[in-house]
Chains A and B, each alone.
Chain A
Amino acid sequence: MKAETPPRSWAADIYRAFKKLGVAQVAYVPDAGHTQLILDCRADEATNAVSLTSEQEGVAMLAGAWLGGQRGALLMQSSGAGNCINMLSLAQECRFPLLMLVTMRGEWGEFNPWQIAMGQSTRKVLENAGCIVQRADRAGEIGEVVFAAGQMAFSTSRPVAVLIGQRVIGFKDWSK
């Protein structure tokens, strides 16, 4: 039996959390897990949705957003977390708030061995770079976890990452 990808109603929950938090800039490197959310953000005239060449650009861009009085969120896949390490020194040294949403690979039913290295080290890498790391592992809790993480990031001026489990996103069935 082929595993079905569960419907992604949680993308709408994240979008609602963004609106409640007042997120005005969304920077992203595309990931399949964030497809619907990226479409929703791009369709919203009140949101500056910016496509990046590399995740670290988003850390710097959202520091600029905060300097200018706007809140932002950075969307990436777990493989992008490693690209951010030195740039996260900006958030740590300056106490910039930073809300990062990381869709996980390499942790649940992964078929591609190249995803394992970064997927298995995402939490450790982000924590070592000074981020508070939280997880959402059930579709129904994702909106709430993102809102709570955002409130903490913006109210306490700290980088907070939410790892969205691969089990929620669904995995590719590699059986023949």
Chain B
Amino acid sequence: MPNEKKGTLDRREVVKAILEKRGDALVVTGLGSSCYDAGVHDHPNTFYLWGAMGAAAMVGLGLALAQPSRRVVVITGDGEMLMGLGALATIGARKPDNLSIVIMDNELYAETGMQPTHTARGVSLSGMAKAANFAVAETVFTDEDLEAGIAALYEAPGPVLLDVKVSGKRYPMSIRLRDGAHIKNRFRENLLGQKAFD
């Protein structure tokens, strides 16, 4: 059964609104459109995944445990999150209070030909996160919900998951930085300074 209510938010506007408030937060993106959305606002405190589908939430967990005084925000897609659903249980069991996950949920595999994902067919990622013991888990349809959600992303004790329902609009790639070792080294050097070379 397809969902009756469709996402209308613009993914680039949503990511812009989130990243404008990033402060000293550390950001991890999933592959594909989430990477390109965040790439428009490139920052050395952003680690971009260009592959390893299903990794984003768990990269966020390891980073959040290593940097307990910083907020870690994972920005990923519904397809990417669905490939690593076990991570919701692992994160819910570990309950890191500084980890937030934002799903840019267009209910589509946009990179591979716009096939519907399970979220187009009644599966709720925020419902799953709630059942996995997340402190905050919401589905966002409107600008008002988004504003409250962004405040929770940065301030509410985590783990937080926002499932943001966005339209299926596609945008071109933005960032061309894709060498994994470079992205990693840039992130570590900026965060850790000389300690990055220990």
Which positions in A face B, CB cutoff 8 Å?
Answer: 24-25, 27, 48, 50-54, 56-70, 72, 86-87, 89-90, 93-96
Contact = CB atoms under 8 A, between A and B. Distances in A.
Contact of B66 (A57, A67, A86): A67
Contacts of A70: 62, 65-66
22 contacts: A27-B62, A53-B86, A53-B89, A56-B54, A56-B84, A57-B86, A60-B55, A60-B56, A60-B62, A60-B84, A61-B58, A64-B58, A64-B62, A64-B65, A67-B191, A69-B191, A69-B196, A87-B55, A90-B49, A90-B59, A94-B180, A94-B181
B86 A68 contact: no
Contact of A89 (B47, B51, B196): B51
Given A52-B90, A64-B28, A89 B52 contact: yes
Nearest to A50: B94
Contacts of B51: 89-90, 93
Contacts of B47: 67
B53 A60 contact: no
B87 A67 contact: no
Interface in B138-165: none
Given A57-B86, A89-B51, A48 B59 contact: no
Given A50-B61, A87-B55, A90-B55, A69 B188 contact: yes
B192 A69 contact: yes
A70 to B, nearest CB: 4
Given A60-B55, A89-B52, A67 B65 contact: no
Contacts of A25: 62, 65-66
